[in-house]
């Protein structure tokens, strides 16, 4: 086993990764890939600075530990450091996907599945460009630390992505249907859902009209609400942005009101899907973390370092995109908690507004934006016709206060072929979602 | 026919928190991809670290059974080497010099904190085959990425300085960050008149990434479908595939071993759309010229990805383009997008007033809007000939757009 140097905290994370990919574009098989890789990320902490190494040579890990120790200064009191005190020492084998591993599904079956979804668009005369792709990953992680952690766990996703464009010239519309599951088999039953999405997009392409910009009451679909929660508030909940910043700590004190009574936001790595993170990349068990509880700031996301500095508990959110990178504070599955009214009741109260159904992308700093793909006008309490515009935007904090109703339907969505980006680390698989969420006075452009 | 691609990245990365180095990361990762091309089909296999090439070729040959078409002219009889790896800084020197730089900024601007990353990268890429193709790219560079945050601010970041360079010029970096911080702290009203917008070109050229893609035009799915060969934009507007490794920090060749010929690199010349960007397969399939834009991972079938696009510069500096008037230099504009018909809108989170020589102050957040046919058409002013150090040492686009207060 590994020889952890005296006077330091150190850990070793080994990742064994299986991935496969099938891609068909406008009728042609463009790529089939199956690969297995492994690598290790090694960390060492002397109480003052972290030292990291990544390697594909699993036989060199002890030498890497010695090399990293030579860069730091041994600290006999390292175990008393607030960061080290928060390191969990979980042990055991928590792998759960061995029996239904995507590795055991043949390439032929994956190609056949991808072809069956390609067939939904291949002969469509209105669709000018399309692609159908399948991708999966099973990642087995082993984690060992100088404190005694000895842990093995796995994650798995399998997903489909169908991208298609209607029209030509200035009259074009692109849309994507994407789903991810924890297993291959559920994907074989999604053709009806994909076909319905294509037809909805066709109706949007044919009927969507531009609308005037201005302030509207907006209803966010579960997808739009999830992106809003992730981009606008989730990133602000990542505690590494607060390190050493007394002003920020004061501003973001737990217990402060940050949104309307209707709003509760949660992050939970235990939820199955693309954000599933049973243990994070420093061996901490996943927690359900309530970030906002009925408008009150209730928690934030931590690594051991940020929890140590802020005097709070770890949450299982130290994640990295691969063995080449150090874990940093990231989200897992982030969603807005459902309310009690129905979607129809929520829309019935709007005389002139907009329903945002699908979203191309979103961002959130002081100002957030959501770029809708499909959106609809709401007139006199009814969804009436498709409309198009560039983005909705607004101040994040004042918008959180303008949420006046959330529906009881909850949908948490998983994806393949992208993920969350934070500085150099992109893409990290996450999931997000929520109920239908009504927001007053959002600026539409 | 066998072809091999080898990538290596040796990197030292410093994590910065509150003007101090919090962590040091070292990595040295090599990746090898082997391709077998036979009877118009391709098979690829790859591995990390020490690999047995014969095993990879055997796996690549097996994957020919998938029947992936690759009926193209293989690059041959071409040798090219770019060597830009003269930057030598030891890890300890890097830590010391960056620590000193961060302390200097802290001393000058105690109310502001810098965080994020400094990476020192030594990269290499080799592509070779049995037909005397041997292409090599060697580069070493520093990437500085500093999130700048004012004490007491509730946001994740307030402003930013980013730079990729083959030298570490501490005094110039400190001066640039100081200029940004001082301008950030000097709030000016948003002028009533519609000033020229000075903006990073990639934000507004990204629609070309989608709609000048050879597959989009080949499948008749592009916004510019009926405009090939037509004058659509300003006489002064020309758009090229950037291929100079000194400027792009990338190889001169693409993942199929094509080095783009100068005459084929122009996608738009004097306002006329001349060609889409392509790889070999797309060019052959749709009857276009190959512009050398094959992309992909080390172990992927090479395919058409994006293109590294650059507007032809005007030959005039920023201050000459502004011609004695101020302009609005957009520093952070996150979340904007195009509609399918080419209308663009984006919030601008951070922008500075400038006379083209120095920053005059920060203006409140606003929105920019415009049509691609206008801001590269009648409203187009030009791309600066000078590189703007405070904006990553890039040339910047100057144009007119509608500006609205948020």
d(CA B404, CA A420) in angstroms, rounded, equals 30
d(CA A297, CA A259) in angstroms, rounded, equals 8
* Per-domain boundaries in chain B: 2-184, 197-202+314-405, 206-311
Q: E strands, A5-148, where? A: 9-25, 28-45, 50-55, 91-94, 127-145
Owner of token pair 């030509």: A168
**A362 contacts in B (CB within 8 Å)?**
335
- State whether residue B35 sits within 8 Å of chain A by CB: no
d(CA B297, CA A289) in angstroms, rounded, equals 37
d(CA A218, CA A376) in angstroms, rounded, equals 10
Q: Are A107 and B226 a contacting pair at CB < 8 A?
A: no
Q: Kindly state the tokens that stand for A280.
A: 């994070």
Rounded average pLDDT over B52-65: 97
d(CA A151, CA A285) in angstroms, rounded, equals 11
For residue B96, how far is the Cα from the chain centroid? 29
d(CA A385, CA B128) in angstroms, rounded, equals 56
In chain A, whose CA is at the least distance from the CA of B148?
A241
Helix (H) or strand (E) segment spanning residue B92: helix B91-108
pLDDT of residue A147: 98
> B2-184 belongs to which homologous superfamily?
PmbA/TldD superfamily (3.30.2290.10)
Q: Are A173 and B340 a contacting pair at CB < 8 A?
A: yes
Q: Which site among B339, B343, B350, B403 would you substitute to test the A interface, given the most A Cβ atoms closer than 10 Å to its Cβ? A: B339
The architecture in CATH of the region A9-207 reads 2-Layer Sandwich (3.30)
Contact call for residues A323 and B26 (beta carbons, < 8 A): no
d(CA A417, CA A421) in angstroms, rounded, equals 13
Q: Are B154 and A248 a contacting pair at CB < 8 A?
A: yes
Contact call for residues A405 and A435 (beta carbons, < 8 A): no
Contact call for residues A362 and A235 (beta carbons, < 8 A): no
β-bridge pairing A352-364 and A214-220: parallel
CA of A41 vs chain B CAs: smallest distance (Å): 9
User: Of A77-81, A390-394, B11-15, B312-316, which gets the smallest average pLDDT?
Assistant: A390-394
Enter the pTM of the model.
0.95
pLDDT of residue A442: 92
Q: What's the Rg (C-alpha) of chain A? A: 23
pLDDT of residue B307: 95
Q: For B374, which DSSP code? A: H
User: Of A78-82, B18-22, B135-139, B153-157, which gets the smallest average pLDDT?
Assistant: B153-157
Please provide the DSSP assignment of B32-52 as one string.
EEEEEEETTEEEEEEEESS--
Tell me phi and psi for residue B215, to 5 degrees.
Answer: -70, -40
Per-residue pLDDT of chain A (445 residues; tens, 9 = 90+): 899 999 999 999 999 999 999 999 999 999 999 999 999 999 999 999 999 999 999 999 999 999 999 999 999 999 999 999 999 999 999 999 999 999 999 999 999 999 999 999 999 999 999 999 999 999 999 999 999 999 999 999 999 999 999 998 888 999 999 999 999 999 999 999 999 999 999 999 999 999 988 999 999 999 999 999 999 899 999 999 888 888 778 878 999 999 999 999 999 999 999 999 999 999 999 999 999 999 999 999 999 999 999 999 999 999 999 999 999 999 999 999 999 999 999 999 899 999 999 999 888 877 888 999 999 999 999 999 999 988 898 888 899 999 999 999 999 999 999 899 999 999 999 999 999 999 998 989 8
Owner of token pair 């691969």: A322
Rounded average pLDDT over B379-401: 97
At residue A171, the 3 state secondary structure works out as: strand
Other residues' Cβ atoms within 10 Å of the Cβ of residue A2? 15
Q: Give the mean pLDDT of chain B.
A: 96
Q: Are A390 and B219 a contacting pair at CB < 8 A?
A: no
d(CA B234, CA B268) in angstroms, rounded, equals 10
d(CA B68, CA A23) in angstroms, rounded, equals 10
Q: Are B27 and A390 a contacting pair at CB < 8 A?
A: no
pLDDT of residue B57: 98
For residue A336, how far is the Cα from the chain centroid? 14
pLDDT of residue B405: 87
Rounded average pLDDT over B346-356: 95
* Per-domain boundaries in chain A: 9-207, 214-264+333-444
At residue B184, the 3 state secondary structure works out as: helix
pLDDT of residue B122: 98
pLDDT of residue A394: 87
Q: Which site among A386, A391, A420 would you substitute to test the B interface, given the most B Cβ atoms closer than 10 Å to its Cβ? A: A391
Rounded average pLDDT over B76-86: 98
CB nearest to B216's CB, from A129, A248, A397: A129
- State whether residue B215 sits within 8 Å of chain A by CB: yes
In chain A, whose CA is at the least distance from the CA of B339?
A390
pLDDT of residue B291: 98
pLDDT of residue A246: 80
Contact call for residues A395 and A238 (beta carbons, < 8 A): no
Q: Give the mean pLDDT of chain A.
A: 96
- Among A307, A241, A364, A331, CA closest to B147: A241
CA of B361 vs chain A CAs: smallest distance (Å): 19
Q: Tens of pLDDT along B110-127?
A: 999 999 999 999 999 999
Give how far Cα B297 sits from Cα of A424, B234, B268, Å: 17, 36, 28
């Amino acid at each position: 086993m590994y020889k952890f140097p005296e006077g330091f905290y150190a850990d070793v994370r080994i990742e064994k990764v299986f991935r496969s990919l099938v891609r068909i574009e406008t009728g042609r098989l463009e790529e089939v890939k199956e690969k297995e890789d492994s690598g290790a990320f090694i960390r060492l902490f002397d109480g003052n600075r972290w030292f990291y190494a990544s390697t594909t040579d699993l036989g060199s890990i002890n030498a890497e530990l010695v090399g990293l120790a030579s860069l730091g200064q041994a600290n006999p009191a390292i175990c008393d450091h607030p960061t080290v005190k928060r390191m969990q020492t979980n042990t055991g084998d928590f792998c759960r996907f061995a029996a239904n591993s995507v590795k055991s599904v043949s390439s032929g079956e994956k190609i056949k599945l991808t072809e069956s979804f390609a067939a939904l668009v291949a002969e469509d005369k209105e669709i000018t460009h399309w692609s159908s792709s399948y991708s999966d990953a099973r990642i087995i992680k082993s984690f060992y630390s100088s404190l005694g952690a000895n842990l093995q766990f796995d994650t798995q996703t399998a997903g489909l992505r169908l991208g298609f464009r209607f029209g030509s010239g200035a009259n074009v519309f692109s849309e994507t249907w994407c789903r991810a599951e924890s297993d291959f088999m559920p994907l074989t039953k999604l053709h009806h859902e994909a076909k319905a999405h294509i037809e909805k997009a066709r109706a949007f392409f044919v009927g969507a009209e531009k609308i005037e910009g201005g302030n509207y009451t907006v209803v966010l679909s579960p997808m739009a609400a999830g992106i809003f929660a992730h981009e606008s508030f989730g990133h602000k909940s990542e505690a590494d942005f607060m390190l050493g910043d007394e002003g920020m700590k004061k501003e973001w004190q737990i217990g402060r009101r940050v949104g309307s009574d209707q709003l509760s936001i949660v992050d939970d790595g235990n939820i199955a899907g693309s954000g599933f993170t049973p243990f994070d990349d420093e061996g901490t068990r996943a927690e359900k973390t309530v970030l906002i509880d009925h408008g009150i700031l209730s928690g934030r996301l931590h690594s051991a370092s940020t929890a140590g500095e802020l005097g709070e508990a770890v949450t299982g959110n130290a994640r990295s995109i691969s063995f080449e990178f150090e874990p940093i504070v990231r989200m897992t599955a982030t969603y807005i908690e459902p309310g009690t009214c129905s979607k129809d009741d929520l829309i019935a109260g709007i005389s002139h507004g907009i329903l945002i159904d699908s979203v191309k992308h979103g961002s959130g700093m002081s100002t957030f934006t959501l770029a809708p793909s499909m959106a609809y006008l709401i007139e006199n309490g009814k969804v009436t016709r498709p409309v198009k515009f560039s983005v909705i935007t607004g101040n994040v904090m004042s918008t959180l206060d303008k949420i006046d109703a959330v529906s009881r339907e909850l949908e948490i969505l998983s994806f393949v072929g992208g993920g969350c980006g934070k500085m150099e680390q992109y893409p990290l698989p996450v999931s997000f979602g929520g109920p239908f969420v009504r927001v007053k006075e959002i600026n539409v452009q | 026919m066998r072809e091999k691609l080898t990538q290596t990245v040796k990197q030292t990365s410093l994590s910065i928190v509150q003007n101090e180095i919090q962590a040091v990361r070292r990595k040295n990762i090599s990746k090898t991809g082997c391709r077998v091309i036979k009877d118009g089909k391709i098979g690829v296999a790859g591995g990390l670290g020490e690999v047995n090439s014969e095993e990879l070729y055997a796996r690549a040959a097996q994957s020919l059974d998938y029947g992936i078409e690759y009926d193209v002219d293989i690059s041959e009889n071409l040798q090219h080497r770019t060597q830009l790896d003269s930057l030598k800084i030891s890890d300890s020197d890097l830590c010391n010099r960056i620590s000193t730089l961060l302390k200097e900024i802290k001393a000058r601007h105690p109310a502001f904190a810098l965080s994020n990353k400094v990476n020192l990268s030594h990269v290499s890429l080799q592509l070779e085959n049995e037909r005397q193709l041997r292409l090599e790219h060697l580069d070493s560079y520093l990437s500085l990425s500093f999130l700048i945050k004012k004490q007491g601010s509730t946001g994740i970041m307030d402003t930013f300085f980013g730079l990729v360079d083959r030298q570490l010029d501490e005094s110039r970096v400190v001066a640039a960050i100081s200029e940004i911080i001082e301008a950030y702290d000097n709030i000016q009203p948003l002028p009533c008149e519609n000033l020229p917008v000075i903006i990073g070109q990639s934000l507004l050229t990204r629609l070309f990434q989608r709609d000048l893609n050879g597959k989009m035009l080949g499948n008749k799915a592009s916004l510019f479908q009926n405009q090939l060969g037509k004058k659509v934009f300003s006489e002064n507007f020309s758009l090229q595939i950037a291929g100079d490794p000194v400027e792009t920090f990338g190889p001169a060749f693409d993942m199929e071993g094509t080095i783009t010929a100068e005459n084929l690199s122009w996608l738009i010349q004097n306002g006329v759309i001349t060609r889409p960007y392509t790889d070999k397969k797309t060019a052959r399939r749709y009857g276009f010229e190959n512009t050398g834009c094959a992309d992909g991972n080390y172990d992927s079938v090479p395919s058409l990805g994006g293109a590294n696009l650059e507007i032809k510069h005007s030959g005039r500096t920023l201050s000459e383009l502004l011609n004695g008037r101020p302009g609005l230099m957009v520093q952070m504009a996150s979340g904007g997008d195009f509609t399918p018909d080419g209308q663009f809108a984006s919030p601008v989170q951070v922008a500075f007033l400038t006379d083209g020589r120095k920053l005059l102050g920060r203006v409140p957040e606003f929105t920019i809007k415009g049509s691609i046919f206008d801001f590269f058409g009648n409203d187009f002013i030009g791309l600066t000939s000078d590189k703007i150090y405070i904006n990553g040492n890039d040339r910047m686009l100057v144009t007119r757009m509608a500006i609205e207060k948020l």
